Amino acid sequence: MTALFYIVASLKSNQQAFSIEINKTILSHQTSLVDSSIIACAVLCISDYKCCSASYNEDSKICLLGNQCSPVMRDSANFKTLTKQPRDVAYGKSATQSSVFENLPINIASRAVDGDLTTWMHTAKEYMPFWIVDLEKIYKIKRIEIFNRNKGYRISGERLHDLDITVGPTENEMQLCAHYVGPSKLKDHLVFECLHEDVRFVKLMINSTEVLNVVEVKVYAW
């Protein structure tokens, strides 16, 4: 039986959801310590971005922290195992882009991380237009979702093509995580599985002379 368990790590970060397994412990862990409660153990896991699962024993008060996000477990009475669930960490973060179409506020970078599918980011037509979000700390990411422009002429949906999605801990250490040949269509919801550690920046760039214009970008991370 798996239930969801929510905890607020700090005032600044989002809520972290965990799945919880009763009478199970993780087979391998990186850290073992004694702590006061399962909540304290979960907070330790939240504060370490490499930690993805934590097992806590109610009797011995042992807290085991592991790096696996799909941990192998074994039966063990009195243990509970918490596993982090990926969540969108791009929402509300600071974003920039290569240019703003007509310099209008309705086209700025932050509108791709406002959680609203009726607003978009929109560059001018230029060589290699890009958009970049700063997740503000390092995450282990799982996937990136892009919601393409969803209204207008057919051709404006097809602007999304030859897209490089790169990720990295700084803007100077970006690595390719997905390449999308396209072209896309209006209303497309594109999902790119992209397992990467050490990610703070996510960049979208079209490798040609084009307009970059998408409604929303979500970055799922643990």
Ligand X SMILES: *[C@@H]1O[C@H](CO)[C@@H](O)[C@H](O)[C@H]1NC(C)=O
Residues that bind Ca ion (CB under 5 A): 111, 114, 116, 119, 216
**Conformational region of residue 49, where left means phi above 0, alpha means psi within -120 to 50, and beta covers everything else:** alpha
22 near ligand X, judged by CB under 6 A: yes
Q: Which does 207 bind (CB under 5 to 8 A by kind): Ca ion, ligand X, none?
A: ligand X
Is the backbone of residue 23 left (phi > 0), alpha (psi -120 to 50) or beta? left
Say how many C-beta atoms besides its own lie within 10 A of residue 87's C-beta. 17
Query: 16-52: b or e for each residue (b if 16 or more CB lie within 10 Å)?
Result: bebebbeebbbeebeeeeebeebeebbbbbbeebebb
CB of 78 to ligand X, least distance (A): 7
List the structure tokens of 119.
């607003």
156: contact with ligand X by CB under 6 A: no
Select the binding partner of residue 23 from ligand X, Ca ion, none (C-beta < 5 to 8 A, by kind).
ligand X
If binding means CB under 6 A, how many residues of this protein chain bind ligand X? 5
**Residue from 5, 9, 23, 85 in contact with ligand X (CB under 6 A):** 23
Binding mask 112-151 for ligand X (x = CB under 6 A): ----------------------------------------
